[in-house]
Amino acid sequence: MTLYRCAGDIVFDDSVPHSGQISSVILKNLSETCNFLQYLKPLSYDHPYFCAQIRSLANNSKITLGIAGPDISEGTHPGNWNNTVGYHSDSGRCYTSHREIANTKGEGFGIGDIFGVQVTHFGSSKCTVVFSKNGRPVATRFLFESDPNNLLPTISLENGPVDLGLMWPDAVSDVPVFNMTDMNHWITSSDVIYDTCTNMFIIKSVEEEVTIQSPVPLSPALSHFEVIIRECSDKGVVPSIAISSCSPIKPAPTNNLLRDYLRWNANDGYLKVGHRLGWGICYLPYEKEKDDFDPLCQQLVICYVTINTMIAHKQIILQPEGGFYPLVILKNTASKASIDVTSNPCPVVKMNDMENHLLDATEALSNDQMTRDIPRSMFRTSESIDIEVRQDMCRLTLPANMMGIHAIQFLKPLTVVQSNFFIELQCLNEDSFIGIGVADNNLPLKKQPGKVKNSVGWLSRDGKLYFNGRNDSYVTGERYFAGDTAEVRLEYVGKNTSVVVFNKNNRTVGCRYLNQSNHSKFLPTVSLCGNGYKVVVDVCWQNQNTAPPKPAIDNLENWCLPPGSVIDYNKDIIHVRHHSSPVAIQSPVSLNQEFNHFEIVMPHTSSISTVLPIIGLTTPSPFDPPSVSNFKQDIIRFSGFNNDKSVKEGDRVGWGLLYLDTSIDVSDEQLVICYLTINRDVQLARVIYQPDGGFYPIVILPPALNMIQLDFSATIIREHPFTNDMLELMIAEALQLLEKEDELLAQGADIEPLNLFRSLQDLETKSKSPEHTSKSILKSDSSSLSNGLSAQTKSQESTKKKKKKSKHKRSHSKGSIHKDEVQSKSCNIL
């Protein structure tokens, strides 16, 4: 029997490990790519742990220790593949099925450290895993794998030389035991210290909040924990407490009873220093009486909060598999606390007043199951696709002998509430491909979504995002492969135009318009093409999961980035690969009232002729059909050159929107004020129609530029330098011009392109002139326009050369901002 699977430049001891044996694993010098080693005997109840002693490694070396199945690609880190888990030495980041989100922040490890990986619970649908550094837990994660044969110890190494001493599971004689009662075993970040003399956890940084987590879940032996408050603010803010699963559940629960995080805040000023705040669980009597009772299985429990040992709140919750882990959240104004899990009295939870709640919970679970049920009649499908309906997923299989494209549609439309579905690619040959998207029931089952009218789709083979047969846009998409997760989310629903967002491994890769007025036709669609190979995907339809919240705008991992980009998280800098044509970086969400401004920092460039980055606002995809109005544009953008005095290295350049009517949904089509800022001063402004779904911030890097820094310190602007007279002037002129455009269209005439941006000085002067009319905007001097500042449709851009001979050709006026000519006024930043 082969015990090892190896790829790359790894030299290792391939003998059968015996008790106590430390096996040598060495990565050769100058080996830069991902090198892979897997022990083909799975972790088990008897052998749940393996570890590595770090003997030597280079400054830029990277070690990933984790657990994966035999199907993982040899060029992939465990954790960055579906249903695997892995921990990175260089960053301390821990991933499970591509996700890093968890309760606590990890820490890196290096020379002299012993790093361990241990399965602490072997569940029916998933396992819990704890990672330890020098005998101290540093992270917990779910491993979403139910097959015990797929729990294989796996390591990957980059940038040699690296020298490890591996103790494989069979070589380990003493498995670490972690205890909630040992405060040194609680998982903290480097921002927290534990003072053994005072028995207190203390924040030593300026972080607003820091979480401390128990290494093990609550259990019948220790079912209640308390926090003793050692510091509170003048306003009565005290530490918070919570219970949580070891990491977020996948897929996100559809039932409100199943929670992976419950938090209790007590900030009403009642609690003081020395008071106790606690949380506990009570197992239901009929569950505890079962012969096969497992306290860590998924089951209904009573969760309760105690204040000074008295029960203050209780409710019935569906405990996730693996149990609830105690959490303590320290704050910069309540930075000290002690944890008591041994001497605290465990209160008696009375069951007689919970019977009705228990009946309601049982009924809610039954209703949720009915909502999640998927009968075969709910599919419109090619007969060549085999469908296996499971608890959380549907497995689709296309046999190898079925040639051509085969599509399947779920006949339950996406809605605002049930807005997303995703697929996990289990088996996909490099010659096979998949499409995922939204289409109506007129889609031929031999076609791919996005390649026909009234549909959008994302294809694995070329990575392109298609809509109505087109794929033109600044953000083009990204390829996806076996081991990846591809998601489709209905981001915005409009009367005739909606917006669909595509995600790869929990990161946005792009968005497209869906031109479909019949909202009952928003059907989730998957197409499979094997080209002689078997294709297997697991699909989680929209009634089997809950859509995640919108991504945080200030986390660059959520942005649409070119493949291979590297993020400097400390400085919010994106480094992109060398590129011969421009590449785009786009926000995952559109501007709105809570994110109405974004900006970049102008980078240093070595050549005076180098083009600076373009910063702009764009629609999800080009208008189809294209717009001819000056007020409906695909993109608004600003660019400059190093010899342009309007901007220089280090300047912050941004775009913002001012919404004029708060009664209109922020994402609906509406007239807004669009303005350009340089160093937080408004330079130019105009009126424009915000399109359905909103404007998305975008940055386009020319070939000579491989990095850009974003600044998230001014994402919300509450007050503006625009006076009421200025706003009335801009709106009145815009309405008059719109009326003129309607007249021209009725006559069959072309609409001449106009530069509508105005400086504040121009607006202020003309707003005070009673004789000012809309004609003044037609005669505005081009000096009020920046070099490269333009608003146009992509169709105008692509057909500009074709219309060169036309009497009413579309063109751009270019000028430059001179600081002695333009009076700017500042914004108040929140």
pLDDT per residue as tens digits for the range 255-271: 999 999 999 998 667 89
User: Which range, of 1-5, 6-10, 406-410, averages the lowest pLDDT?
Assistant: 1-5
Q: In what order do the strands lie in the sheet with 485-492?
A: 386-389, 394-398, 535-540, 420-427, 485-492, 497-504, 507-515
Nearest to 71 by CA among 120, 127, 5: 5
Binned at pLDDT 50, 70 and 90, residue 645 comes out as low
List pLDDT tens digits, range 396-444: 999 999 999 999 999 999 999 999 999 999 999 999 999 999 999 999 9
Nearest to 42 by CA among 147, 149, 143, 129: 149
DSSP 613: P
The C-alpha atoms of residue 449 and residue 464 are separated, in whole angstroms, by: 12
Residue 642 predicted with pLDDT over 50: no
Strand partners, 501: 489, 511
> In the Cβ-directed half-sphere of 593, how many Cα atoms lie within 13 Å?
10
pLDDT at 607: 59
List pLDDT tens digits, range 658-709: 999 989 999 999 999 999 999 999 999 999 999 999 999 999 999 989 999 9
Mean of pLDDT values over 2-9: 94
User: Are 629 and 751 contacting, i.e. CB atoms less than 8 angstroms apart?
Assistant: yes
Read off the pTM.
Answer: 0.91
pLDDT at 604: 81
Q: Is the peptide bond before 626 cis (omega within 30 degrees of 0)?
A: no
Helix or strand holding residue 123 (H, E) = none
The C-alpha atoms of residue 335 and residue 204 are separated, in whole angstroms, by: 8
Mean of pLDDT values over 370-389: 95
Direct distance between the N- and C-terminal alpha carbons of the chain, in angstroms, rounded to an integer? 64
The C-alpha atoms of residue 211 and residue 229 are separated, in whole angstroms, by: 15
User: Are 534 and 518 contacting, i.e. CB atoms less than 8 angstroms apart?
Assistant: no
List pLDDT tens digits, range 519-530: 999 999 999 999
More confident residue, 72 or 763: 72
pLDDT at 781: 33
Q: Specify the 3-state DSSP secondary structure of 493.
A: coil
| Structure tokens belonging to residue 134 | 């020098």
Q: Is the peptide bond before 588 cis (omega within 30 degrees of 0)?
A: no
Q: Which amino acid is at 35?
A: N
Nearest to 699 by CA among 827, 612, 623, 790: 612
pLDDT at 772: 54
pLDDT at 779: 32
CA 711 from centre of chain: 19
Cα–Cα distances in Å, from 227 out to 3, 179, 260, 546? Answer: 47, 17, 21, 32
Mean of pLDDT values over 563-579: 94
Residue 818 predicted with pLDDT over 50: no
Binned at pLDDT 50, 70 and 90, residue 710 comes out as very high
The C-alpha atoms of residue 378 and residue 199 are separated, in whole angstroms, by: 58
Question: What is the phi-psi region of residue 311: left when phi exceeds 0, alpha when psi lies from -120 to 50, beta otherwise?
Answer: beta
Nearest to 647 by CA among 500, 822, 790: 822
More confident residue, 608 or 214: 214
Q: Which amino acid is at 795?
A: S
Residue 354 burial by Cβ neighbours in a 10 Å radius (0-12, 13-18, 19+): middle
What average pLDDT does the structure give for the chain?
89
Q: Which amino acid is at 213?
A: Q
Residue 373 predicted with pLDDT over 80: yes
415's CB contacts (< 8 A; 6+ apart) are 490, 493, 519, 522, 542
CA 120 from centre of chain: 28
258's CB contacts (< 8 A; 6+ apart) are 249, 298, 317, 318, 320
User: Are 714 and 552 contacting, i.e. CB atoms less than 8 angstroms apart?
Assistant: no
User: Are 141 and 121 contacting, i.e. CB atoms less than 8 angstroms apart?
Assistant: no
821's CB contacts (< 8 A; 6+ apart) are 759, 761, 783
Strand partners, 95: 86
Nearest to 255 by CA among 363, 365, 419: 365
The C-alpha atoms of residue 756 and residue 308 are separated, in whole angstroms, by: 65
List pLDDT tens digits, range 37-53: 999 999 999 999 999 99
DSSP 558: G
Burial 727-751 (b: 16+ CB within 10 A, else e): bebbeebbeebbeebeeeeeeeeeb
Mean of pLDDT values over 531-538: 97
| Structure tokens belonging to residue 644 | 């342009």
User: Are 529 and 405 contacting, i.e. CB atoms less than 8 angstroms apart?
Assistant: yes
Nearest to 85 by CA among 40, 43, 144: 144
List pLDDT tens digits, range 214-253: 999 999 999 999 999 999 988 889 999 999 999 999 999 9
Burial 72-98 (b: 16+ CB within 10 A, else e): beeebbbbbbbbbbbbbbbebbbbbbb
User: Which range, of 232-246, 728-742, 761-775, averages the lowest pLDDT?
Assistant: 761-775
Nearest to 96 by CA among 124, 74, 67: 67
Helix or strand holding residue 518 (H, E) = none
Residue 166 burial by Cβ neighbours in a 10 Å radius (0-12, 13-18, 19+): buried
Pairing of strands 162-167, 23-27: antiparallel
List pLDDT tens digits, range 769-806: 765 544 433 333 333 333 344 455 444 444 443 333 33
Residue 717 predicted with pLDDT over 60: yes
Residue 826 predicted with pLDDT over 90: no
Residue 181 predicted with pLDDT over 50: yes
Burial 647-682 (b: 16+ CB within 10 A, else e): beeeebbbbbbbbeeeeeebbebbbbbbbbbbebbb
The C-alpha atoms of residue 620 and residue 598 are separated, in whole angstroms, by: 17
Binned at pLDDT 50, 70 and 90, residue 488 comes out as very high
N residues, the chain: 830
pLDDT at 794: 47
Q: What is the DSSP string of 222-276?
A: S-EEEEEE----TT----EEEEE-SS--SSPPSSTTB-SEEEE---SS---TT-E
Q: Specify the 3-state DSSP secondary structure of 738.
A: helix
